[in-house]
Amino acid sequence: MSLIFIVDDSTLSLNALSHLLESEGHKAICLKESTDAADMISEARPDLLLLDVVMPKLGGLELLGELKARPGMDMMPVIMVTAKTDAEDVRAALDAGAFDYIRKPFEAIEVLARVRSALRTRHYMERLVYLSEHDGLTRLLNHSTILRELGRSLEALSTPGCGLTVVMCDIDYFKRINDGYGHQAGDAVLIALGKLLIDAQGATGIAGRYGGEEFCIILGGFDRAMALRWAETFRAVVEAREWEADGRRLRFTMSFGLAWTESGEGRNSGEILAEADRRLYLAKGAGRNRVVAADQDPVTAT
């Protein structure tokens, strides 16, 4: 079931379109007033919008422009519903960001066909975006996306005392797994570890595959002590677990480097990543299977 908003000043059109869409199993929300529609639509994030072109207060093209200028609304397809069907009017609607248009008076078969086409295209677009942002093996965010998310997270540190932690970690002696068990087993380990990271990152965490067997986790809202406990707990879980990989069972450990920053420090993503990465290599140099959260005295694994 898709959520579809309809904005039209005609009660007749609203009733006809909503009945038609609901008969196809969609949920239709009708708005007769266009002036406050942008806020409602932005909050609800519908799968599709049917938008009348000619309305008394705020015209459909103006509302469309306002919506498309808002963050995260570019993926929502918009079908204009209009009695104005000359080439110039159609061009104006498409140039403003509309996906398609429906003529008034409309035919049920045409409305449903264009709605299906718009929803199908949205699904394809969302799939392409997902594939471009996620690692194909682990389903974690890929390298470029985790860097982008770190930049966004740092920009959002506006509240005094608010902070975040970057955790860089990797699998100890991962080459031994590939050499001793085969690359399929190595891939199975990465897939299973990706699932564990997704489960462990929590509501404010973001996890990505930084490259190879190295991972980056952003812990929003964690202070130093909380982040250290998170990393130590995850390290202990990995160490204690017996992993199944390509029909064989094995064990491995991980090393962790942490870097923490807070609002007002003005540190960029490159600086905090370099600090976390440096501490990861301190952990590996100190014997692996440990967490290092400061440049002195690496934490010894328990």
Evaluate if residue 101 carries a pLDDT over 70. Answer: yes
Q: What is the pLDDT of residues 140-149, one digit of tens each?
A: 999 999 999 9
Q: What is the pLDDT of residues 284-297, one digit of tens each?
A: 999 999 999 987 65
Q: What is the pLDDT of residues 111-144, one digit of tens each?
A: 999 999 999 999 999 999 999 999 999 999 999 9
Q: Is 240 helix (H, G, I), strand (E, B) or coil?
A: helix
Final residue of a domain: which of 103, 133, 163?
133
Evaluate if residue 90 carries a pLDDT over 50. Answer: yes
CATH number, domain of 236, equals: 3.30.70.270
Within a domain: 243 = yes
Within a domain: 301 = no
Q: What is the pLDDT of residue 86?
A: 74
Residue with tokens 């890929």: 142
Known catalytic residues are 213
Q: What is the pLDDT of residue 129?
A: 94
Could you tell me if 42 and 14 lie in one domain? Answer: yes
* Mean pLDDT of the region 75-82: 92
The C-alpha atoms of residue 15 and residue 19 are separated, in whole angstroms, by: 6
Could you tell me if 154 and 243 lie in one domain? Answer: yes
Among 279, 273, 288, 289, smallest CA distance to 239 is for 289
Q: What is the pLDDT of residues 144-188, one digit of tens each?
A: 999 999 999 998 887 766 789 999 999 999 999 999 999 999 999
Could you tell me if 218 and 284 lie in one domain? Answer: yes
Q: What is the pLDDT of residues 242-280, one digit of tens each?
A: 998 878 899 999 999 999 998 878 889 999 999 999 999
Q: What is the pLDDT of residue 299?
A: 53
Could you tell me if 116 and 165 lie in one domain? Answer: no
CATH number, domain of 40, equals: 3.40.50.2300
Domain assignment of residue 116, given as a range? 3-133
Could you tell me if 157 and 77 lie in one domain? Answer: no
Our separate counts of H helices and E strands in the chain read 10, 12
Final residue of a domain: which of 113, 133, 153?
133
Could you tell me if 70 and 162 lie in one domain? Answer: no
The total number of structural domains that make up the chain:
2
Could you tell me if 69 and 191 lie in one domain? Answer: no
Residue 302's pLDDT band, with cuts at 50, 70 and 90, is: very low
* Mean pLDDT of the region 75-94: 84
Could you tell me if 148 and 207 lie in one domain? Answer: yes
Final residue of a domain: which of 133, 160, 176?
133
Residue with tokens 């955790």: 167
Could you tell me if 155 and 282 lie in one domain? Answer: yes
Phi, psi (rounded to 5 degrees) for 217: -125, 130
Q: What is the pLDDT of residue 297?
A: 55
Q: What is the pLDDT of residue 56?
A: 82
pTM: 0.83
